[in-house]
Structure 1
Amino acid sequence: MLVTAADLAPEALALLSDYEIVYAGKAPAEQDIVELCRIHNPIAIIVRYSKVGAQAMDAAPSLRVISKHGSGTDTIDKMAAEARNIRVVAAVGANAAAVAEQTFALLLACAKSVVELNARMHAGHWDKATHKSLELNGRTLGLVGLGEIGVRVAEIARAVNMRVIAFDPYARNFPDHVKQVSLEELFHESDVISLHCPLTDENRHLINAETLTRCRRGVIVINTARGGLIDEAALLSAVRSGRVMAAGLDSFSVEPMAAGHDFQGEQNIILSPHVGGVTRAAYVKMGVAAAKNLLAVLENRAQVSRR
């Protein structure tokens, strides 16, 4: 069994005690995964980092299941997996609480100028007479995606008396305090736009120069989903022009972010290194869910083969 990371929670390892575990290391490249598949021919892969594509699958003829240590499966070539009768499963909701909290941490940092004021205070300034932050009470939060994370963010927003609207064509049940709207309505009505959807070919660069012109001037943009949802150059231009008041970003088109990225040093762009789902509790929950998901697939296939 291959884990595309340097470790796995002990609670997850206990569930996998009947299997040999091979770790890919802290930052495996896609080709590293291919080589490990060739050497070890794993029956299952737990994906934390790196991509898993057709080449890796072909290098592991015994592979039966790819289990994501988290909810987003965009780093797994699902079409290639389906063609090879390899199941792809995800730990949906395991990190929902952690990501929702990170979302609101970034939102509050943007609305209340937390980072800027902290730096000013440490430099010896006292800006009470000149600073005005944004009050979220009564403002409209637009959620793109209303899965488990989006629902949790909506609950937090309700606690601070924000109006919550959401666009999600796949959501079955909208909470009573969340108004279902079209994407166009969401762009027009939101004071804050927060992204909580998977990345697909259809929604890549959903936030771009054209869609930003449809938003209210001074909108806040939060992304704790996938970096590819945002055209980064367009967002940077909108922040610099004031069309976007601030952006709080936890994911990026290319990760890890290289030194010299245009976002670095921008006062009104708050950055975190894709750690929204990284808490001790989420680490355990994602590991356990990933282990249980793959075991369910392996055990089911074993039962089928015995019939």
Structure 2
Amino acid sequence: MSTVLVTGADLAPQALALLNNMEVVYAGKAPTEDDLIALCRRHDPVAIIVRYGKVGVAVMDAAPSLKVISKHGSGTDTIDKVAAKARGIEVVAAVGANAAAVAEQALALMLACAKSVVPLDARMHAGHWDKATHKSLELGGRTVGVVGLGAIGQRFARMAHAMDMRVIGFDPFAKNLPDYIQSADLATIWREADVISLHCPLTDENRGMLNAETLAQCKRGVIVVNTARGGLIDEAALLAAVRSDQVAGAGLDSFAVEPMTADHPFQGQERIVLSPHIGGVTSDAYINMGVAAAKNLLAVLARG
């Protein structure tokens, strides 16, 4: 019986039903590279479903029968795709399976920043009533810059458009965009956006794309939302921009190092709203991503 290694502790029952003719082995909630290497040597999987951890050269070489690496989600930056290609291993992703969940998280973070939801809640619980002194930002009529116009970015753009926001977007690979998304280059987004929301994969070319230089080009008081990958933002530069009021607020669901390290400088900053990379973690998305990951790997295996 062929083996599928899951770099996590579980998989949706609907996904397991599709893999009922295969042995499914779990690596646990936080597998290290050594854990994955040991499991690959023991079980020689034909497929790996990637939930947590990284799959690099050493893991691939420990599994000589490996034919496909299937991401439980859309971002494949934790997989060494160059090494996989060199070994004839196909890399597939569950593109769009968590689009609704992540787009909703981006919307929630944008609204939380614009409406000061977190600090006002804390003040209210402490017994304060700031009606006379607080003004929130109205988003209708404002411009949102969406960087990355795949399934998630376009869904978020549709939500923003429904709120009467002007949507400008950058994605060199996007085609046939709806008429409410105005295509723009990054310089235009930095210059014109009241809100910037990141929805692109992390690559060597765009790592640190929001940094001291680009943040300085933005409107004073811009809101930054990132539900994509933490490496897209220079975290020290973002913190400095928040402290100087160049950035009015940031809503972040992903970070350069995950889990977030103890005493991270973002902690305690009331205008930085944090969530632990759970944008795609809903009960519906869990099923959708698991089923898509299973279907994708079976399709590759069926091709031989």
The equivalent of 1:304 in structure 2 is none
Which amino acid in structure 1 is aligned with residue 37 of structure 2?
V
Please give the residue correspondences for 1:192-207 in structure 2 after superposition, counting only pairs within 5 Å. Answer: 192-207=195-210
Indicate the SS of the match to 1:109.
helix
The equivalent of 1:171 in structure 2 is 174
Which amino acid in structure 2 is aligned with residue 108 of structure 1?
L
Q: C-alpha offsets along residues 65-109 of structure 1, whole Å, 9 cap, x if unaligned?
A: 000000000000000000000000000000000000000000000
Indicate the SS of the match to 2:130.
coil
The equivalent of 1:111 in structure 2 is 114
State which of 269, 272, 276 in structure 1 corresponds to 2:275: 272
Q: C-alpha offsets along residues 176-200 of structure 1, whole Å, 9 cap, x if unaligned?
A: 0010011111110000000000000
Indicate the SS of the match to 1:89.
strand
The equivalent of 1:244 in structure 2 is 247
Shift of 1:40: 1.1
The equivalent of 2:35 in structure 1 is 32
Q: Does 1:58 align with 2:73?
A: no
Shift of 1:31: 2.2
Indicate the SS of the match to 1:291.
helix
State which of 137, 140, 149 in structure 2 corresponds to 1:137: 140
Indicate the SS of the match to 1:246.
strand
State which of 154, 173, 177 in structure 2 corresponds to 1:151: 154
Please give the residue correspondences for 1:1-307 in structure 2 after superposition, counting only pairs within 5 Å. Answer: 1-301=4-304
Which amino acid in structure 1 is aligned with residue 278 of structure 2?
V
Q: C-alpha offsets along residues 241-275 of structure 1, whole Å, 9 cap, x if unaligned?
A: 00000000000000000110000000110000000
RMSD, aligned CA: 0.5
- Taking the aligned partners of 1:169 and 1:96, their CA distance within structure 2 comes to 19
Gaps of 5+ in 1: 302-307
Q: TM-score, normalised by structure 2?
A: 0.98
- Taking the aligned partners of 2:98 and 2:23, their CA distance within structure 1 comes to 26
Which amino acid in structure 2 is aligned with residue 105 of structure 1?
A
Gaps of 5+ in 2: none
Q: TM-score, normalised by structure 1?
A: 0.97
Indicate the SS of the match to 1:21.
strand
- Taking the aligned partners of 1:289 and 1:30, their CA distance within structure 2 comes to 25
Percent identity between matched residues is: 72
- Taking the aligned partners of 2:59 and 2:252, their CA distance within structure 1 comes to 31
Q: C-alpha offsets along residues 157-188 of structure 1, whole Å, 9 cap, x if unaligned?
A: 11110000001101012110010011111110
- Taking the aligned partners of 2:193 and 2:176, their CA distance within structure 1 comes to 21
- Taking the aligned partners of 1:126 and 1:284, their CA distance within structure 2 comes to 42
- Taking the aligned partners of 1:265 and 1:87, their CA distance within structure 2 comes to 43
- Taking the aligned partners of 1:33 and 1:240, their CA distance within structure 2 comes to 41
- Taking the aligned partners of 1:99 and 1:269, their CA distance within structure 2 comes to 18
Which amino acid in structure 1 is aligned with residue 165 of structure 2?
M
- Taking the aligned partners of 1:215 and 1:34, their CA distance within structure 2 comes to 45
- Taking the aligned partners of 1:81 and 1:195, their CA distance within structure 2 comes to 27
Shift of 1:30: 2.1
Q: C-alpha offsets along residues 34-68 of structure 1, whole Å, 9 cap, x if unaligned?
A: 12111111110000000000100000000000000
Indicate the SS of the match to 2:191.
helix
Mean CA deviation greater in 21-30 or 272-281: 21-30
Question: How many residues in Structure 1 have an aligned counterpart in Structure 2?
Answer: 301
